[in-house]
Amino acid sequence: DGGITQSPKYLFRKEGQNVTLSCEQNLNHDAMYWYRQDPGQGLRLIYYSQIVNDFQKGDIAEGYSVSREKKESFPLTVTSAQKNPTAFYLCASSLTGDSYEQYFGPGTRLTVT
Amino acid sequence: DAKTTQPPSMDCAEGRAANLPCNHSTISGNEYVYWYRQIHSQGPQYIIHGLKNNETNEMASLIITEDRKSSTLILPHATLRDTAVYYCIARYNQGGKLIFGQGTELSVKP
């Protein structure tokens, strides 16, 4: 059963702690993306990766870090430097090249108190 | 990427066609129009996309005006499960980000 998995669905952390969100895909997609969504808002891009061992900052990369050591995996670390980390985090993947849509995972809702 | 404008909310009766408009007056010649929808607390779901020609798939139809400044997503027979936020995105199709606006909240009512 192909798709994108994100775990866990809900995550709670104390302020000042780093936390890593998991994203795995078995669609054989080269490109992977991380978005953040705040209540009542659209999605904003945090980081994206077009190929293994390479990634680029999106619009709101400050306070986040990523790695892309394997094609299937693109974990996101929310660091203590991120001022407002509480949000809904969505991972997506796609083929690269013309006319390919992005497929999204179910999301992780992070709450930091 | 071109900016898109959508109405914030719309209602539709179950079984009727839902027509969701989108303005993208600054779209460039090589930017595609994509439609996604998001049911509450889930990841967005791809619906359809097109460049110039009208497109149809098992979920919906996409009508793009000849000048490409606007488009309409048509759900031919809306069901209660089509209640969601629908996003229209104009995107240069070379491996890039999707810029999500506020979208249209569609409520399908019995």
pLDDT tens, residue by residue, A67-96: 999 999 999 999 998 999 999 999 999 988
Residue A39: the pLDDT is 87
Please spell the DSSP secondary structure of B28-78, one letter per residue: -TTEEEEEEEE-TTS--EEEEEESSS-EE-SS-EEEE-TTSSEEEEEETT-
Chain A residues whose CB is inside 8 A of the B45 CB are: 104
Mean pLDDT of chain A: 92
Q: pLDDT class for A98, splitting at 50, 70, 90?
A: low
Contacts of B100 in chain A (CB under 8 A): 35, 42-44
* Single-letter amino acid code for the residue at A34: W
- Predicted confidence at residue A101, as pLDDT, reads 85
Cβ contact, residue pair B93, A44, below 8 Å = no
Rounded Cα distance, B86 and B6, in Å = 9
Low-confidence ranges of chain B (pLDDT < 50): none
Provide the pLDDT for residue B26.
Answer: 86
- Parallel, antiparallel, or unpaired for β A76-78 and A64-66? antiparallel
pLDDT, residue B37, reads: 96
Interface residues on A facing B, Cβ-Cβ cutoff 8 A: 4, 31, 33, 35, 41-45, 48, 50, 58-59, 88, 90, 92, 94, 96-107, 109
Q: Which chain A residue shows the shortest CA-CA distance from B32?
A: A99
